[in-house]
Structure 1
C-alpha cells in the first residue's frame, strides 16, 4: 500500500504513532496511526477531508485537505511542546513597532533586555496565555515551510503582542519564561533612526538564517530542497553525510529560499550567561552569542557604535557614507551582491575604513526574495573561482584582502608576529616571532584566536597589503592578518578568523591591537 501521507515534526524528522482522524464532508470518519517512517497507510475515497492529528508531546491540530487519485503523499507537520519565539521583523529602527511571536504550552512572562557589556533590563512586557487551554501554542504549516516561514500569530484581537522598539541602537533579546521555569531568548537588532556614532557594526543576520535548520532545511541540511519522505536517520538520509565531498552544495542545480520568518534556536542564549563567560555550544561560537562579545568589548573600551542588520545595508537603511568605520565580525559569510558593491565603493572610492574581525566572510552571495522575508543562497562554486561570491561578482579578497580556504578549518591556534614594527602592534611589546591571541571565549575548538575557519591572501588581494601576522594552524592553514590603504584614503584591517573577536574581552594583546586600529581609523 502506498502512503497517503507522511507525518513529521518541525525538523522534518519522521513521527511514529501519530493518531489521525479523517472526516469527509459527508461525515464519514477514517482513522490511522503513522508508522516508523511517518507514513500514513490508509485508503480513502477521493474528496475533501477535515483531519485531526494528535500525539503526546506535540500540539494537536486540525487541517483541511483534498485527496485525489495519483497525487503525491500529503505532508503533515506537528510542532513539539515547549517554548520558542522570534521577533518580527527581526531588525527594525528605533521607535518602530515589533511583534513577538511566541510558542508556549503554558503561561509565560516576557521581558526585553539590551545585550552590551552587561545584560541591561529594558522593560517588562507582560504575562501571556491567551485564556483558552494551550492557546499560546503555535502550529507549523504542513508541507515545506523553511522556504516560506511559519508566520506565527502575534496575539489575538485586542491582545496584540507588539512593542515599540527602544530608540537606543543595539542588540536586544526578548526573555520568555514559563510559569514552571522554562526559558527561551531570541534576538532583535535595533538600528538608530539616524546615525549617532562614527562606528557602524553589522550583525550577520544572513549567516544566522543560512545556518537555521528550523523547518528541516538550512544551507547545510537539505540545502537544495526538501525530499518527499521525512528523515528517519540523519547519517543515512541527508546528502551532507552520504557524500565525501560535502554533498549538500552539489545536491541540486538550484536552491530553494530560506525564510527569515522562523524561530532561531541556535541564537538562544541561556539566562545565566554573561558577556565574559565562555561560549558553549557548536553554533553559539559563530552566531549571535559570539557577536555579542564584540559589542561588549566595544562598550568596555568606550567606543560608541550603531548596530545594523545585513538587510539594512542591502536596503539602504545603513548609509555607509554617514560613518567613519564599519565593523563586520565573527562569521559574515552570506552577503548580497548589492551589499558587496556598496562596501567596495565605500572603501575604494569614498575613503571608508573597514574592520573585518571575522573569518569566512562575504563568501556566498545571496538574493533577497519575497519582499525581503527570505533569501536564496547562490551556492555554485566553480573550480576556477575562489568562492561562491567570486562566481557571481568578484573575489572577496579584492575588498577584504583575504579569502577563506579549507586549510586549517576546524582548528584554532595563536597568531605569530611577522611585522612587529607596524603601528597595529604599538604598545604590545611584541617582537618578530612572538605569539599572541592565545586566549578566547569560544569553546567550539580550543587553541587561539586564529580559527575555526581562516582566510588567507590570494592573487586577488589588492597591492600594497602588509601581512602583519599569521596563525599557526596545521597544514599552513593559519589566518593571515592584513592591513592596507586604498588610493581614496580608505583603510582595511582584516583578521581572517572566526574566533578572533571572542578573545577580545580576555586577551590584553588583541585588545591593544584592535584598539590601535579603531583609534587610527576614527582619526580625521
Structure 2
C-alpha cells in the first residue's frame, strides 16, 4: 500500500535516547521558504516515566489535515467576522496532490473515508491559524496547554493516539494522570477500551476539551498510519454516507458516531458533544455543588463569580465545540456525575448538534433559546478509585496563559492536576 508520496529519504534525523519525551519539529528551509515538520518523542524504553501523560489527539490532527472546506472565504453564518485563509489553506486548494482530509469529498461527490499521516499536512503545523477561530486550533491550539505545563514546571510524557491504539491499557498504566488535548474527536475501540479500563482501575483523566470520543475510527491492521472513518447518517458531519457504506472496510465494524454504537463519551467523561459555534466564547458560572465540601478544593484560590471571561481562543473559556451532560436520553452520563459549572451567555451563533434534535423549528435552536446549547464542567468518580475532570469546551485551554497564567481557569486546572498527581 502506498499511503503517502512514496518518496525516497533525503534526510535522516537520529533521536537520541536521552531526549526528553515531548513534541518536536524539524525546521527545513532553502533560504527563501521554510517549514516545520512536527514529530513526537516517546519516553525511551527503560527510562523512568513521568506521573503525567499528555495524550496527543493525533487522529484529529490527521483527520483535519489539508481540509478544503476553507474555500468559503468571506461570510459564514456561525462565525462573527469574515473567514480569512492562511497561505497553507490556499496552497492545499491549489495543489490537489497533497491529498484531502476526512472533511472533503472526492470529485464524484463521495465522502473521503481514508487518510494517511505519511504526507505533508500543512495545517498540522505549530504556527497555523485556523479560519474558524482566528486563533490556533487543534495541533497548534494544544500548545496553550503544553506551554502551561512548561510554565508550571510540570514534568510530563507524550504519547499519541496511534501509541494508545497499538499498546492499549499498557500505555497508560505507568501514569497517575492522563491529560487529553482540546479535541480528541477520533478514537478507535481499542483506545476507548483502554481509557475506560484505566479510569475504572483507579486512573485519573483530565478531559480538557470537547467534541471528544465522537467518531468511531479504525486503523489499518498492517499500516497504522492510515485511518478510516465512515460518517453514517447523523452527527455533525460534512457528508452523509451512502447506503451500505457505513461498515468499515479495515475491520468490519460499524462506523458513524460512538453514541450510535452504545458507547457515547458521556459514560467515560460524564459529558458529550452538544453544540458548536464560532462567536464570542462564554464563561462558566460555578454551580451550588461546586461549593460542597468534597469539591471545594477544585476552586481553592478562585475568587471570580465567572470562570473564563478572557481567552486566546474566541475570547473565553467555553466556545467552538462544546459538551454537556445528558442524564435523560439514555446516552449514559453516570448518575454520580457532578456538574461543577455551566456556561452563561452563549449567543445564537451557537447551535445544537443535529443528533440531539428530533424536530427543527425556527427560533428554538440557538444558544439563547435551547438549554442543550451549553458547556458543563463536571467531576466523575469511579468505584475503583478513578476520577474524571471534564471541562466541556475546546476553548478552555486557551484561557490558561491569560494574565501571566494567573487566572481562574489556570487555578482550577492546576488544583485538579496537583491532586491527581498525588492521589495514585
TM-score of the pair, normalised by structure 1:
0.59
**Which of 53, 71, 94 is the matching residue for 1:200?**
53
Return the offset for 1:264: 1.4
**Which of 269, 284, 299 is the matching residue for 1:425?**
299
Quote the Cα distance in structure 1 between the aligned partners of 2:52 and 2:117: 26
Return the offset for 1:320: 1.2
Provide closer, same or farther for how the CA distance between residues 293 and 514 of structure 1 changes in structure 2, counting only shifts above 3 A.
Answer: same
Contact 1:154 1:162 in 2 (8 A): no
Q: Give CA-to-partner distance per residue, 1:9-50, whole Å, 9 cap, x none.
A: xxxxxxxxxxxxxxxxxxxxxxxxxxxxxxxxxxxxxxxxxx
**Which of 104, 107, 122 is the matching residue for 1:265?**
122
Q: Give CA-to-partner distance per residue, 1:125-159, whole Å, 9 cap, x none.
A: xxxxxxxxxxxxxxxxxxxx9x822222212xxxx
Larger radius of gyration: 1
Provide closer, same or farther for how the CA distance between residues 409 and 490 of structure 1 changes in structure 2, counting only shifts above 3 A.
Answer: farther
Q: Does 1:514 align with 2:423?
A: no
Structure 2 unaligned segments of length 5 or more: list them.
Answer: 67-91, 93-97, 236-253, 348-366
DSSP-derived class of the 1:171 partner:
strand
Which structure has greater helix proportion? 2
Provide closer, same or farther for how the CA distance between residues 265 and 282 of structure 1 changes in structure 2, counting only shifts above 3 A.
Answer: farther
Return the offset for 1:260: 1.3
Quote the Cα distance in structure 1 between the aligned partners of 2:20 and 2:224: 24
Quote the Cα distance in structure 1 between the aligned partners of 2:101 and 2:315: 29
Quote the Cα distance in structure 1 between the aligned partners of 2:125 and 2:338: 39
In the alignment, what sits opposite 2:225? 373
DSSP-derived class of the 2:219 partner:
strand
Provide closer, same or farther for how the CA distance between residues 379 and 411 of structure 1 changes in structure 2, counting only shifts above 3 A.
Answer: farther
Return the offset for 1:417: 1.6
Return the offset for 1:165: 5.1
In the alignment, what sits opposite 1:494? 390
Quote the Cα distance in structure 2 between the aligned partners of 1:198 and 1:451: 30
Output aligned runs, 1:452-467, within 5 Å: 452-459=320-327, 460-467=332-339
Q: Does 1:152 align with 2:7?
A: yes
Quote the Cα distance in structure 2 between the aligned partners of 1:411 and 1:154: 45
In the alignment, what sits opposite 2:342? 470
> Which deviates further from its counterpart, 471-480 or 201-210?
471-480
Q: Please tell me the root mean square deviation across aligned C-alpha atoms, in Å.
A: 2.5
In the alignment, what sits opposite 2:194? 342
Contact 1:199 1:306 in 2 (8 A): yes
Provide closer, same or farther for how the CA distance between residues 165 and 453 of structure 1 changes in structure 2, counting only shifts above 3 A.
Answer: farther
Contact 1:337 1:393 in 2 (8 A): no
DSSP-derived class of the 2:388 partner:
strand
Output aligned runs, 1:315-394, within 5 Å: 315-316=166-167, 319-348=171-200, 350-369=201-220, 370-381=222-233, 388-392=257-261, 394=263
Return the offset for 1:406: 2.6
**Which of 308, 318, 321 is the matching residue for 1:437?**
308
**Which of 395, 415, 419 is the matching residue for 2:284?**
415
Q: Give CA-to-partner distance per residue, 1:154-179, whole Å, 9 cap, x none.
A: 12xxxx53332563100101111222
Q: Which has the higher contact order (CA 8 A, sep 6+)?
A: 2
**Which of 263, 271, 276 is the matching residue for 1:402?**
271
Q: Give CA-to-partner distance per residue, 1:191-248, whole Å, 9 cap, x none.
A: 10245211110111100111012634211111xxx225xxxxxxxxxx6xxxxxxxxx
Return the offset for 1:410: 5.5
DSSP-derived class of the 2:164 partner:
helix
Quote the Cα distance in structure 1 between the aligned partners of 2:383 and 2:55: 25
DSSP-derived class of the 1:321 partner:
coil
Return the offset for 1:396: 0.7
Report the number of matched residues.
Answer: 332
Quote the Cα distance in structure 1 between the aligned partners of 2:57 and 2:279: 20
